Amino acid sequence: MRRAVAVELEVTKELNKLLYSVEAMYLNIVREVVVYAIANNVTNPTQLQRLFYRKYRQEYPSLNSQLVIQAIRQASEIAKSFIERKKRGLVDKPYPEVKAVSIRFVITTWNYEQFVKSIAPVRITISLPGGRREVWIKPHKRFWLYWWKVLSGEAGLAGTLIVKRRTNKWYAIFVFELKPKDELPQSVVAFDINENTVAVSRIDIIATIDKTASWNRRYLMPQLYTIRTDFGRLAKRYERTRNAITERLKPLYALPNGKYVSITGTREFRKHVKGLREWGRKVGRVRQIANELTKTPGIIVTEELGENPQESMINGIGKDELRHRIKQTPFKSIEKAVEDKALERGSRIFHVSSYRNSRVCPIHFTRLGETNDWHTLKCPFGHLVDRDHASVMNMFWKLTSEAWTKAFWWDLKSLSKNMNWRKHEGKSNPLVPHEIVKYIHATLKEFKASFEQSPAVLARGSPMNPARGANEDWARAPPRSKGTLTLQGGEEARSDLLRCVGLSDVSNG
């Protein structure tokens, strides 16, 4: 797991000139080699080096030989990825436009050995035309944070240093290799990504795991809550703004025959859209979610997403606008961000199959029926279940092997004939420690029992009313919770839980 930290360099006028000259030479090599590599379909770095090294050593004698090699390597990488993207039809230009480069200083071209030994490094020495140069860096909090990890052995510093210019400032980019933490899990979290929300269920492991007997029942209640993401709504809003920009620009791009050139491809359009910061906002939210889900070290459970979850989800959805919004939901990047953060914080992520997760009652193991609200399902035992909550609770069930068969193979007889057992077998992860599986099981049993034993409580839950303005495609009314709803013990909390899980009595309604 890697983290890059950029630290600004203290650059004198003279040094600035030097760095600019190095950048110009480096960029030139990269550009020329990229063109050659693509034109001749030669992307092997060794081969390219053999072809070009001597030429550029002669052309730029002041440039460190290692930098020449790194520039050629970088060109090879750019060419490779360009050819790959071209194959997949993602580019229409004949050659990539190399606008900026990251100048790579390998271990021998800067004072790595000395630097890593330092307790509080404030300078680097790099090989530039005219010899080695000492450069002061402007370390900041984030840098010191990772440096502390280096000193304490939790992280290592990579040997390659990257120097990069952004407008007129120069940065040194240090790459830290973090060692995954190995911590005792404190919680088990299941999450499910939807268009506008991420549904979460959390089981806190409070007691020492091996003291099974003394588990306090009070703490065995799983928390259920929703994190609002509004990716769908965000997409909707940007869609509107984008359309408005297109309309505004149309007159500028009208052709004599009354038609328009493609406006979305124009520089003017891109300039306007850039100001929307759509991507930046999305990334921010993705990070928040990852943070929330991994705040304590634990076991994180989620559905196995296919290669392209959006595609499988929009199957059968006709409305263009909705299809677009689902496409804009960053399922994969949420998963990736959570995985990454999980590793850093000593959590582990497990995937369970998505099979019937939102089709089974997590309390009675019966097949749920549809209601007129997409988000609410009805159990044959007469209560309503929120689809999201069924989904996350069932992910938990799948970690326990006993319930696995009960809950998901209720029609075993008809299925066993034409069922591919191999496919679903063993997908309840055997990697989750047995003690924890026992804990999850006990919690789920308690959760189940508390509903089966007190039907009166079920009756008191407020009905899940679709008229609450709930059903706008996938997006429903914002969750009532202001963040985390802790659901432990007490009558008040019980009925809260009911509303939260979406359970209520419908037998007389």
Query: Per CB under 5 A, does 282 bind Zn ion?
Result: no
DSSP state of 477: S
Work out how close the CB of 382 gets to Zn ion at its nearest, in angstroms, rounded to a whole number.
8
| Angstrom distances, CA of residue 438 to CA of 176, 210, 211, 475, 480 | 38, 10, 12, 35, 32
What does the buried/exposed string (b/e) look like for 365-389 if buried means 16 or more CB atoms within 10 Å of the residue's CB?
beebeebebbbbbbbeebbbbbbbb
Query: Is 137 near Zn ion (CB under 5 A)?
Result: no
379 binds Zn ion (CB under 5 A): yes
Instruction: In angstroms, give the least distance from the CB of 379 to Zn ion.
Output: 3
Complex with Zn ion: residue 53 or 381, whichever CB lies closer: 381
Shortest distance, position 385 Cβ to Zn ion, whole Å: 7
Angstrom CA distances, 347 to 43, 191, 207, 472, stand at 39, 14, 18, 35
Tell me the residue number closest to Zn ion, measured at CB. Answer: 379
Of positions 198, 361, 390, 437, contacts Zn ion by CB under 5 A: 361
The CB-of-292 to Zn ion minimum distance in angstroms stands at 29
Q: Return the residue matching tokens 């983290």.
A: 3
List alpha helices for 250-400, DSSP H: 267-274, 278-293, 309-314, 320-327, 331-344, 387-397
Half-sphere exposure of 279 (CA within 13 A, CB side): 3
Residue with Cβ nearer Zn ion (128 or 361): 361
Instruction: Compare residues 193 and 379 and give the one whose CB is closer to Zn ion.
Output: 379
Q: CA–CA separation, 259 vs 267, rounded Å?
A: 19
Question: What is the rounded CA–CA span in Å between residue 409 and residue 196?
Answer: 31
Does 387 bind Zn ion (CB under 5 A)? Our answer is no
How far apart CA 26 and CA 39 sit, in angstroms, is 20
**Cα(170)–Cα(448) distance, integer angstroms:** 60
**Residue 384 binding Zn ion, by CB under 5 A:** no
- Which amino acid type is present at position 268? E
**Which of 104, 202, 364, 387 forms a contact with Zn ion (CB under 5 A)?**
364
Q: 180 or 463, CB closer to Zn ion?
A: 463
Residue nearer to Zn ion on the CB measure, 348 or 364: 364
Closest distance to Zn ion from the beta carbon of 221 (Å): 17
Minimal distance, residue 488 CB to Zn ion, in Å: 22
Q: Min. distance of Cβ 381 from Zn ion in angstroms?
A: 4
Q: Does 363 bind Zn ion (CB under 5 A)?
A: yes
Mark 309-348 with x for binding to Zn ion (rule: CB under 5 A) and - for no binding. ----------------------------------------
- Footprint of Zn ion (CB under 5 A): 361, 363-364, 379, 381
